[in-house]
Amino acid sequence: MKKFIYTLALIFSLGISFNSVQAADKPAKNTTELTAEQAVKLERIKTRVEEIRDMDKSNLTRAERKALRSELRELKSQARAVSGGVYLSVGAIIIIILLLILIL
C-alpha cells in the first residue's frame, strides 16, 4: 500500500512539474480588457517608472533613494491592481496541493 501511495505521489508531482514547464514556454495572454481610464492610469505609471529609471541617482541622498524605492514598490502594486490577475507563490501552491491530498 505504501508503494502505491508513493508511486501515486511521484506521478502526481511529475505531472505538475511537466505542466508548469509547458506553461512557461507559452507567451502570456492578457485576457482582461482594460477600460480607457485604467489604460491611462497604467500609461502614467509606466512613464513615471521610465522617468525614475532615466534619472541620475548618483547625486541623490540616501533618504531620496529610499523614497524612490518605496515609490517604485507602490507603483508596482498599483500596476498589478490595475492589470488584474491572481498570483500564487510556489509555497501557496504546495500548501494547496498538500491540503487537497489530505482531504481526499
Residue 1 confidence (pLDDT): 79
Kindly report, residue by residue over 3-25, the tens digit of the pLDDT.
888 887 877 776 666 555 444 45
Q: Cell 496541493 identifies what position?
A: 97
Residue 47 confidence (pLDDT): 92
Residue 61 confidence (pLDDT): 92
In the chain, where the domains are located: 37-53+61-103
Kindly report, residue by residue over 46-69, the tens digit of the pLDDT.
999 999 889 888 898 999 999 999
Q: Write out the DSSP string of the chain.
A: -HHHHHHHHHHHHHHHHHHHHHHHHSPPP--SPPPHHHHHHHHHHHHHHHHHHHS-GGG--HHHHHHHHHHHHHHHHHHHHHH------HHHHHHHHHHHHHH-
Q: What does pTM read for this prediction?
A: 0.48
